[in-house]
Amino acid sequence: MKLKKVLSPETVWVDLKSDSKQGIIEEMVDRLFLAGKIENRDTILQVVLDREAKMSTGMENGVAIPHGKSDAVESLVAAVGLNKAGVDFNAMDGRPCTIFIMTVSPAKRAGPHIQFLAEVSRLISQPAKREQLLAARTHLDIYTILTGK
Partner 1 sequence: MQQEAAHTVTQVAQQAGEAVAHAAASSGHSITHMMMQLVLQLAVIIVCAKVGGYLFQRFLNMPSVLGELASGMLIGPYALGGLIDIPNIGILFVESHSFAVTPELYGIATLASIILLFLAGLETDLAAFLRYSVVGSFVGMGGLLAAFVMGDLCAVLWPGNGIDSFMDPAALFLGVISVATSVGITARILAEKRKMASPEGVTILAGAVFDDVFGIITLAIVMGMAKVSMGKGVAWGPICIIAVKAIGFFVVVTALGLIFSRKITALIKRFKSKEIIVALCFGLALLLASLAEMAGLAMIIGAYIMGLALSRTDLAHEIEHHLEGVYNILVPIFFCVMGMMVDFGAMKPVLIFGSVYSLLAVFSKVVGCGIPAWLMKFNLRGSLRIGLGMLPRGEVALIVAGIGLAGGIIDQGIFGVAIMMTVVTTMLAPPLLVKSFEGGSGLRKEMEGSSTNIESIELEFPSRDITEFLLNRFVNALQQEEFFVHHLHTDQPTFHVLKDDIDFTLIEEGNKLIINVPSVNQHVARMILLEELLSLSDLLESTKQMKSVDEMGSDLMSGLFA
113 catalytic, yes or no? no
Instruction: Determine if 113 is a binding residue for partner 1 (CB under 8 A).
Output: yes
Choosing from 21, 51, 67, 69, the catalytic residue is 67
**Segment interacting with partner 1 (CB under 8 A) among 2-10, 33-41, 119-127, 131-139:** 119-127
Instruction: Determine if 128 is a binding residue for partner 1 (CB under 8 A).
Output: no
Cβ of 119: how many Cβ atoms within 10 Å? 15
Distance CA 100, CA 134 (A): 11
Helices (H), the chain: 21-34, 41-54, 113-124, 127-134, 139-147
Instruction: Determine if 126 is a binding residue for partner 1 (CB under 8 A).
Output: no
SS3 131: helix
**Segment interacting with partner 1 (CB under 8 A) among 17-25, 29-37, 108-116, 133-141:** 108-116
Q: Between 99 and 117, whose beta carbon lies closer to partner 1? A: 117
Q: 38, 104 in Cβ contact below 8 A?
A: yes
Cβ of 39: how many Cβ atoms within 10 Å? 11
* Smallest distance from partner 1 to CB 136, Å: 22
| Binds partner 1 (CB under 8 A): choice among 42, 54, 128, 137 | 54
Distance CA 11, CA 104 (A): 13
Binding residues for partner 1, rule: CB under 8 A, are: 1, 51, 54-55, 110-115, 117-119, 121-122, 125
Residues noted as catalytic: 67
